[in-house]
Chains A and B, each alone.
Chain A
Amino acid sequence: MCPMPIVALAKKVKELKSGQVLELLADDVGAKEDVPAWCSRTGHQLVGTEEEGKLLRFYIKLK
């Protein structure tokens, strides 16, 4: 639930390298808008989004 997906995402990104693609699973409706906003703000690229019922799946390519 907000804000934990974004906070967890920011933490994880620090452990990864540029060019790697991160898969993020979220069950928070807010994430639908939050993740793209986070990407545009931080410069990482959102390469894909999938929706499976209540579950949201994001693919983010790190800058």
Chain B
Amino acid sequence: MADKLCMVVSEGTFDKAYMPLMMGTTAAAMGSEVHVFYTFFGTGLLKKVAKPKLPGMFRLFTGVFQKRMSKVGIPGHDELMKQAMDMGINFYACATTMGLMGVKESDLKPGVKVLGAAAFLKLAGESKTTLFIG
């Protein structure tokens, strides 16, 4: 059976948005099964159009940073998430915090599943590696 990698994303800033996608696509390329669970400020990243910004005052430089990333061949957030889904990565929105953050199921990108904490913990329990990004 393939190794499993689980990740929890609790922040919605640019850096925390990219980390699970880069780590996840790499793991999928290495043959792992990948599950990413978005909670609290992370849930906004699963909306159909997500434009994460750098944290704090650095948010003003998000555009510059984005340009630098496309220069080295890293696609935009939503495009990278789509590539990740095509590679078979599973994305989940935390059922409870969706309500808190005002994210509706109809707002989510196609392919994103809504999951509770217990179901995610079951997946995490079966995986070799679980990372928390927050």
Chain A interface bracket (under 10, 10 to 19, 20 to 34, 35 or more): 10 to 19
B73 touches A4 (CB 8 A): yes
Q: Which residues of B contact A4 (CB under 8 A)?
A: 73-74
In the complex, whether B25 has a CB less than 8 A from a CB of chain A is: yes
- Taken together as a complex, chains A and B put the C-alpha atoms of A24 and B73 apart, in Å, by 16
In the complex, whether B28 has a CB less than 8 A from a CB of chain A is: yes
- CB contact list, A1-51 vs B, under 8 A: 1-4, 6-7, 9-10, 34, 37-38, 41-42
Q: Which residues of B contact A37 (CB under 8 A)?
A: 30
B27 closest partner in A (C-beta): A3
Closest-CB distance, A31 to chain B (whole angstroms):
12
Closest-CB distance, A41 to chain B (whole angstroms):
5
Q: Which residues of A contact B22 (CB under 8 A)?
A: 2-3
In the complex, whether B121 has a CB less than 8 A from a CB of chain A is: no
A38 closest partner in B (C-beta): B30
The answer, among A1, A2, A6, for a CB contact under 8 Å with B30, is A6
A3 touches B25 (CB 8 A): yes
Contact with A along B24-47 (1 / 0, CB 8 A): 011011110000000000000000
A37 closest partner in B (C-beta): B30
A41 touches B31 (CB 8 A): yes
Chain B residues with CB under 8 Å of chain A are 22-23, 25-26, 28-31, 72-74, 83, 87
Besides A34-B26, A38-B29, 5 new A-B residue pairs in contact (Cβ under 8 A), listed by A number: A3-B26, A3-B29, A6-B26, A7-B29, A7-B87
